[in-house]
Chain A
Amino acid sequence: MAREDTPLDQAVFDATLADQLAKGADKRVAEGRARSAAVRAYKAAHPEEGEAAPAPAAAAPAAPAAAAAPAAGAPAAAAAAVPAAAVAVAAPVTTPVRTAPLPTGNIPTPKKGADDKHRLLALVPPEGIQRVEREQGDRVNVWPHLLIEEFVAMLILTAGLLVFSTFLMAPLRQLANPNLTPNPSKAPWYFLGLQELLRYFHPMVAGIVIPTFILVVLAAVPYVDRNPSVKPGDRKIAISMFTVLFCFGATLTIIGCFFRGPGYNWIWPWAQGVFFDL
């Protein structure tokens, strides 16, 4: 039976469709839900029609007649369908039970001479379809354009790092001595901003609260900033906030690196020298 001539309850269909659309569902989704609700309502109202299925011979002549209905006079076709339904009513009325074969525990073996192929069929509900809507846009081939650019970037980086490493030795001080604290003792440079904060705040604040806060806020950025635009002109607040925070962190780090000397006291690097190791 084709989908179009599945009997359905038109009143329920209209009501559900309007309801779904009012709820803001997609038109196709709304139609699908309305159709299934209407078919269910129709089947609930006409339980006997489920019994027509076991008698395909009786139903078969009716189906072509129904399909031809739009071409011929619709009232005539409806009249033709009525006897078929009447025959079905005569059958004993039981609730229709859909049964699947009981599990046997045996793994089915293929039929002899069966094709060595298989078909996969997937039924996808309309809401399960991911629609990708984007214009083709101005696109270029990754090879050669992007790959060559990346390759050159890698070469430049490698060359620069090689030259740097040839002439600048990485520091190696005396053997570690837990009893001899160097003055000043500094954390690695990326933590020096926090060490600088330690001068102004309680260690609990500088060492725990602020770093945790920064990480959480950073991770939450896309969920807080719901402005859809990426144009700098539309994002003045976001950009200025990030810039201020970024510069704040950079300033603290630079102070910690270069402007703190023995006893972690303030120094001017051009006067007292640099107390900083990478």
Chain B
Amino acid sequence: MKLKPPSPSELGDRLRDTEVWKSIFRPGSIFRRGYKDTSRDRALATMNNVLYHLHPVKVKRHGLKLTYTFCLGGLSFFLFILLTITGIFLMFFYRPMADIGGAVAYADMQSIRTTVFFGDLVRNLHRWGAHLMVFSVTLHMARVFYTGAYKPPREFNWVVGVILLFLTLGLSFTGYLLPWDQLAIWAVTVGTSLGGYAPFISKQANFLLLGGVVVGPQTLLRWYVLHVLALPFVLVIFLAVHFWRIRKDGGISGPL
């Protein structure tokens, strides 16, 4: 009797019949054997997927229209993920230190650009992506306004959105200081002096924010922690509420 080696498709079927494979992909997954393109399996594909936290099984048809959402909210979220990934990469090569004579942060920036493999590309992605995120979140807000998507029952989600816009600006602004070049330090000096005239608390607030009376090494460390840990943490919590409320408030708004 001659043994024939299994064909690739047979091998694939056998792999998808293993207990390990079936433990990873829940029933209805498109990667599971026996997925059929029926509406039952399409529904199961969503329902038995981690994306079910974000999306219901069905959405209103007009929500697919590109000119309704322009994908702006989704792309803002995607940019946040992209920025997290590139940001983690940059964290491996960056130390937020700028004491007199040291300026480790600036030296690290230079080595990211010159010696780190793909360092300049990742840094460019991070910076351009950050500017784009501020832009897309703003446009998302305009879209939501023009489609009247803040109307009941979605009032509170609009407020959460305003908080998210504010946090996005905060993340972008704190990140702006980190390269520790002339552009960074002076943009931040000008930016923080804008808020230096708050009644009663301006001095205390500025001292707390800058770790001193002017932008200095303490500011760098403070803003680094805010940028990589504190603000993203708060942002993720509000993002969770934002997404949860979209579904609780009946999915996408409209149609017009």
Contacts and interface: CB of A to CB of B under 8 A. Distances in A.
Contact of A169 (B82, B124, B149): B124
B57 A141 contact: yes
A154 B75 contact: yes
A140 B63 CA distance: 9
Contact of B182 (A143, A173, A204, A239): A173
B155 A139 contact: no
A121 interface: no
Given A140-B59, A141-B46, A203 B121 contact: no
A157 B103 CA distance: 35
Find the residue from B74, B98, B145 having the highest chain A CB count within 10 A. B145
Main secondary structure of the interface of B (DSSP, over half): helix
Contacts of B113: 172
Contact of B151 (A165, A230, A278): A230
A229 B179 CA distance: 48
B197 A203 contact: yes
5 contacts: A140-B58, A166-B121, A177-B182, A222-B154, A239-B145
A219 B159 contact: yes
Interface stretch (B4-12, B128-136, B224-232, B233-241): B128-136
Given A142-B56, A143-B46, A174-B182, A168 B124 contact: yes
A221 interface: yes
Interface string A137-148: 111111111110
Interface of A: 134, 137-147, 149-150, 153-154, 157-158, 161-162, 164-166, 168-178, 180-182, 185-191, 194-195, 198, 202-204, 206-208, 211, 215, 218-219, 221-223, 225, 227-232, 235, 238-239, 242, 246, 277-278
A170 B182 contact: no
A198 B185 contact: no
A168 B189 CA distance: 26
Contact of A187 (B57, B63, B142, B194): B194
Nearest to B194: A207
B151 A228 contact: yes
B55 interface: yes
Nearest to B39: A141
B191 A142 contact: no
Interface of B: 30, 39, 42-43, 45-46, 49, 51, 55-64, 66, 71, 74-75, 78-79, 82, 98, 103, 106, 109-110, 113, 120-121, 123-125, 127-129, 131-132, 134, 138, 141-142, 145-152, 154-155, 158-159, 162-163, 166, 169, 172-173, 176, 179-187, 189-191, 193-199, 214-216, 250, 253-254, 256
A206 B184 CA distance: 22
B221 to A, nearest CB: 14
Nearest to A231: B256
A2 to B, nearest CB: 38
Nearest to B42: A141
Contacts, number: 211
A190 B169 contact: yes
Given A142-B46, A208-B198, A223 B155 contact: yes
Contacts of B134: 190
Given A139-B58, A164-B128, A178-B214, A232 B146 contact: yes
A194 B194 contact: yes
Find the residue from B62, B155, B172 having the highest chain A CB count within 10 A. B155
A221 B121 CA distance: 40
A154 B78 contact: yes
Contacts of A215: 162, 166
A224 to B, nearest CB: 10
A186 B55 CA distance: 42
A230 B198 contact: no
A235 to B, nearest CB: 6
Nearest to A136: B58
A96 B98 CA distance: 79
B36 to A, nearest CB: 13
Contacts of B195: 207-208, 211
B151 A222 contact: yes
Contacts of A238: 145
Given A144-B42, A165-B124, A172-B113, A182 B186 contact: yes
Nearest to B52: A142
B183 A187 contact: no
Contacts of B151: 222, 225, 227-228, 230
A152 to B, nearest CB: 9
Q: What 7 pairs between A and B have smallest CB-CB spacing?
A: A230-B148, A165-B124, A222-B155, A176-B185, A139-B58, A170-B127, A187-B191
A202 B123 CA distance: 38
